[in-house]
Structure 1
């Protein structure tokens, strides 16, 4: 008999603290209990979605009742939980976000640490990915265990933001915007980056807050709240995302992350290889879930896109004195945007995905990163 990946689904009535604790515990118990994922003395990062300074009832961030329930389970296991995330950009005040979302109050009630990700560590990909190196929040790297706690929401750029996408919060502040543009000319490459980030961090457990979800044009205030009354959990966030899509009537092909996961062989995307525990899928399936109106990952008119690409993102450029025109960069470029013209390299920056593979393979060290003009301004004032 083939061992299947397990995903648990439990009906949840409300955000009442006691009720949520009971429902979260029931969900985790279906997977073997909290002690399967957390050991005594472990330092455990609870990674919510703290997109912006909105109250819990806005449905934009992970509800604090969910965070408190998971934190209590971790404490009962003899481990040390802390809450950590990095909201969308440097202009966003973490203290304001923490207060508005109820995270500060939750942390204070439990006497646990609340961390604003500020310092990053460069990690090298181990799975032959497109993005050879990623700068990831130091606190996420240092944690013994990561419990990933996303909010079930639609996303106008990536269709849904679920388990895999929530790990993007471990990219620090303004770097998120840079990645949206570096990988953003094609959502396929953005999905690949998210999967490589997920693979590097390997959260031990993902619990999705679907008690009140978001449909329509999420992930922000333009989305519409939808009471689903469900909690989903699993150790494989790809399998978890697959099950949630199935429950919402969304095909795998509609979610760029699941398409990329299948291509890269990361996680399980086939329902026949997933054992759904708790509620039966047919009993919780949604047939009228409102899909988002999809926009480009790099949004706006073409002229604006070109301006942003050239001024927000860094880009590769060669040192002509060092370049020997060996063509290694041309061979490595996944989008064929480098050519040799008039005895020098030419780059089609409008199609460049900013993966910087050319830097990785250059034997002469001739490839350099030229920072976008606006990034220099952000850096000056940061």
Structure 2
């Protein structure tokens, strides 16, 4: 059974620091020794002032950093912002001023390594720094999310997908919220953070996770070794059935969380927290997402001259994106998640991965810059 700590807190550093140290120093806290490579992964969605509740508050980042430094660790603070530059975020978010003088490495995620996250996604490019750290401390933000209801501890690790790969994965999973939830959980499990702290002191409700959301003071800091358990407790806290959160359902379906949790602290359930109206999973206008999926990003393409209509591909397809007639098969680019399982199981080599012409031209132009 996983323990989740709930503490009343403010952004007064004299109050905040001992709470963060208590959580990280608890029996379920990370093991950090001299020379341990510690990666601190905040929620760095976009450049925003702390009072906008878009990113993890800089004082929480400072407290976690000082905890690791006092243990003798080598500390790095990194993320891959979805919008805006890392340097602008670092300055506008107050991190430059608050962490001034601390012996840490600060950099955006850039290099990636291929990691097999299991079926149906297979090999995914994940931030190299996250995969090679000895300890990852996950500093999440309690926010609503118009695509996935809430963005909490587990989803915070989606930030380990670097740069333009984020919207590509949004497009690849398309309209399938369940599949996207499974993808997020698979990435989270691959990175495997040692501890998660949830910044709910100034949370966000309404149409989050960006500046369209509404900051709301909750005065809460939550932490635990198991981010699935932390997210579970956050759902209870804001009056949401955890089973309605896709990452919670996916975690149980994958057998990585059994739903048992011990709460250390007071759970005061809110009955007026404002949730978002859920929209499309694709980033940007829906029509643009459909265009990108059909004409830009790589996709499986059937060779119906070689196809024997054996049925292996459509039986195995996790997204049920393959249909067939006596003339051959067709693949629905709106629902296809580009897992390429069809290519793997086809015994006749009748399906291949191909980037559409527009995508090839865009790739060429990008490389020429």
What TM-score comes out, normalization by structure 2 length? 0.91
Q: How does 1:1-382 map to 2 (within 5 A)?
A: 4-13=1-10, 15-29=11-25, 31-32=26-27, 34=29, 36-88=30-82, 92-125=84-117, 128-269=118-259, 273-277=260-264, 279-281=265-267, 284-298=268-282, 304-319=288-303, 325-363=309-347, 366-372=350-356, 373-374=358-359, 376-377=361-362, 380-381=365-366
- In structure 2, the CA distance between the partners of 1:255 and 1:328, relative to structure 1 (3 Å rule), is same
Q: CA deviation at 1:109?
A: 2.5
- In structure 2, the CA distance between the partners of 1:338 and 1:65, relative to structure 1 (3 Å rule), is same
1:379 and 1:41 map into 2 onto residues whose CA distance is: 42
Q: CA deviation at 1:375?
A: 7.1
1:143 and 1:78 map into 2 onto residues whose CA distance is: 15
Unpaired runs of 5+ in structure 1? Answer: none
Q: CA deviation at 1:307?
A: 2.1
CA contact (8 A) 1:323 1:364 kept: yes
1:113 and 1:299 map into 2 onto residues whose CA distance is: 31
- In structure 2, the CA distance between the partners of 1:49 and 1:379, relative to structure 1 (3 Å rule), is farther
2:85 and 2:13 map into 1 onto residues whose CA distance is: 27
2:89 and 2:344 map into 1 onto residues whose CA distance is: 37
Q: CA deviation at 1:365?
A: 5.1
Question: What is the total number of aligned residue pairs between the two structures?
Answer: 366
* SS of residue matched to 1:178: helix
Q: CA deviation at 1:6?
A: 0.8
1:222 and 1:135 map into 2 onto residues whose CA distance is: 30
2:283 and 2:110 map into 1 onto residues whose CA distance is: 27
* SS of residue matched to 1:150: strand
Q: CA deviation at 1:364?
A: 5.4
Unpaired runs of 5+ in structure 2? Answer: none
1:344 and 1:8 map into 2 onto residues whose CA distance is: 56
What TM-score comes out, normalization by structure 1 length? 0.88
Which stretch has the larger CA shift, 249-258 or 204-213? 249-258
Which stretch has the larger CA shift, 51-60 or 63-72? 51-60
- In structure 2, the CA distance between the partners of 1:312 and 1:244, relative to structure 1 (3 Å rule), is farther
Q: CA deviation at 1:303?
A: 5.0
Q: RMSD in angstroms over aligned alpha carbons? A: 2.3
